[in-house]
Amino acid sequence: MCGIIGCAGRGDSTLDTLLHGLSKLEYRGYDSAGVALSDDDLTVRRKAGKLDALETSLGADPLQNGSGSVSDNPVGIGHTRWSTHGPPTDGNAHPHRDCTGRVAVIHNGIIENYQELRDELAASGHEFESDTDTEVVPHLIETALDSGMAPEEAVRDSIDRLEGAYAICVVIAGVDQVFAARNDSPLVLGVSDDAYFFASDVPAFREFTDKVIYLDDGEFAVINQNGYRVTDSNGAVVEKTVNTIEWDPEETGKSGYDHYMLKEIHEQPRALRQCLQGRVDELAGEVILEELGDVNPDAVQFVACGTSYHAALYGAQLFRSIGIPAQAYIASEYATSVPPIDDDLVIGVTQSGETADTLSALREARRRGAKTMAVTNVVGSTAARECDEALYIRAGPEIGVAATKTFASQLVTLALLSLWIDGEEDNRDVIAGFRDLASNVQAILDDTNARKIAEEYHDSDAYFFIGRGLHHPVALEGALKFKEISYEHAEGFPAGELKHGPLALVTDNTPVFAVVTGEGEQARKTIGNVKEVEARDAPVIAVTDGQSDVERYADHVLEIPESTPRTAAVLANVQLQLVSYYAAAQLGRPIDKPRNLAKSVTVE
């Protein structure tokens, strides 16, 4: 989704600051980029394609404004665009300007009444150059300025006319301020001693400050080189809390790995230790979740999307296993047919805390009187702030578009949550099962044969993933990861479901990854399903802890250490992440930024 950066007070480093910020927002997914610098005059450069294209253009033809070179202390805004209205062309890239070229606007979100506004503006003589919804905003501001309003009033007045989701930044020639507003799209304000920033996400300015203000919906903010001011929708000043970010800027670098995804897969032992730290008391057989208040639900509904939905499926199974009815819903479907809520707790599982579908489902649940909880990675995210309770998965920043370490941390957090709510003393063994989790993940990372398997099968017709019980979400996640970064067809199924249709697709050129751990009934039944595909000559890759005899029917084995059912799901998933990564690498895919995808999906 689009990325926004704005800054004031960065002097002659303003352009570099914007480009650095955009590079840190690349992970969100985008297909064009642009910047604007504003002093007495306004100058804009926009380019379709990746940031390199914009940088090359700026290198070959430095920014100049009407009066020649840009001053040594402009304010600036920068944007990475993920297309919604109109294709990714130079002309559709942000910033967009008004007819006079003195107002520049960047925007994340969707302006729902843009057609109506555009018709009205066109009728009064405004000329539009792009297909975007955003372009109405500078023209509205132009009209307001022409009517005699002061710059801030003109921006406020124009934003008041917008319906839909937006995070917006505006600069105006001759005005040393950057204006910003948010409604349903993420926007944060960075505060340092001598400079101020707006951004969609903290990594954009983390290099320059660890102080951040989380803006709320309906708020309007202004920065210049001397400070900031936040006001509510009526213009009254709002005193905001300045938060301190706890992670270092280096955490958003690649640390020598070829891709963020591989780095983040390898960060899992640390992420899991962080997730568990201070939360389990093995001796007492207790889980401690200090951040939570009184949570004692009769039943639980999960809402989530994509990878987080798979974690929610796992969470729902764990809640059912302790006798609490629980169901996981795909968030975008939940909003259209909300089940009865009664005294249910509605839990939004969302890495970013900004996924529009999940936020909308949580809001619907709240409207109907439910207590809500966000299980999220991002402190201060919209989900964390809007829900009654927030439980953090503590995975650290995740930059690769494909969720990896955050899935592992979501599984563990949900397992802890179910045990905490259960509160039974005889959970001591289960709790002890987390002790070796991080080192078991490390053992897999140190000794995996995933690369060899990926190389052998990277050119197959399709890939299937099967598992039962807690391994069903793992199979779904294995397939999602595989398809999103390799662009190969992959599907995950509950193991028993294969024979009810999908088996027709199984051939000697469709590898089947089967997750089988333990030696109980579930393992035995999954082995039965493995035999079904083996009989159709499909290559079988068993992800197993060696407790059953699945190896006899498998062409290859991806080993995981013996563990408990809850943690086996985390371990098996690590092997599947690695297979996806190496298959995509073999195929030369842009692993961290798969085509058409965005890290944080802020539109419904």
- CA 225 – CA 349 distance, rounded (Å): 38
Positions in 317-336 near ligand F6R (CB under 6 A): none
β 64-65/42-48 pair status: unpaired
What sections of 423-470 are H helices per DSSP? Answer: 428-432, 437-447, 450-457
Of the pair 17, 381, the CB lying nearest ligand F6R is at 381
CB of 9 to ligand F6R, least distance (A): 31
Cβ burial 258-278 (10 Å sphere, 16+ → b, else e): ebbbbbbbbbbbebbebbbee
Q: Which residue in the set 350, 372, 448, 563 belongs to the binding site for ligand F6R (CB under 6 A)?
A: 350
x-marked contacts with ligand F6R along 271-310 as a string, rule CB under 6 A: ----------------------------------xxxx--
Residues in contact with ligand F6R, shown as a per-residue x/- string from 573 to 602 under the rule CB under 6 A? ---------------------------xx-
Residue 569, judged by CB atoms within 10 A of its CB (0-12, 13-18, 19+), counts as buried
Q: Output the smallest distance, CB 582 to ligand F6R, in A.
A: 16
Beta-sheet pairing, 211-214 with 188-191 = antiparallel
Please give the DSSP secondary-structure letter assigned to residue 602.
-
Catalytic residue numbers?
2, 599
State in angstroms the smallest separation of the CB of 485 from ligand F6R: 8
Contact between 403 and ligand F6R (CB under 6 A)? yes
121-129, 262-270, 346-354, 361-369 -> range binding ligand F6R (CB under 6 A): 346-354
Location of structure tokens 């941390």: 409
Which residue lies nearest ligand F6R, judged by its C-beta? 306
Beta strands in 112-245 (DSSP E): 164-172, 178-183, 188-191, 196-199, 211-214, 220-224, 227-231, 243-244
Size of the site for ligand F6R (CB under 6 A): 15
CB of 498 or CB of 576, closer to ligand F6R:
576
For the bound state, the minimum distance from the C-beta of residue 32 to ligand F6R, rounded and expressed in Å, comes to: 21
Which residues touch 17 (CB under 8 Å, ≥6 apart)? 5, 7, 10, 76, 195, 205, 208
Instruction: Give, as ranges, the residues between 357 and 376 that touch ligand F6R (CB under 6 A).
Output: 358
* Choice from 134, 355, 382, 548 touching ligand F6R (CB under 6 A): 355
**DSSP letters of 499-521?**
GGTGGGG--TTS-EEEEE-SSSH
Alpha carbon 230 to chain centroid, angstroms: 26
Which span (156-164, 196-204, 216-224, 348-356) binds ligand F6R, by CB under 6 A? 348-356
Question: Positive or negative, the Cα torsion across 316, 319, 320, 326?
Answer: negative
Among 402, 453, 538, 603, binds ligand F6R (CB under 6 A): 402
Any contact of residue 351 with ligand F6R (CB under 6 A)? yes
**Which residue in the set 17, 65, 143, 352 belongs to the binding site for ligand F6R (CB under 6 A)?**
352
Q: Which chain residues interact with ligand F6R by CB under 6 A? A: 305-308, 350-352, 355, 358, 402-403, 480, 484, 600-601
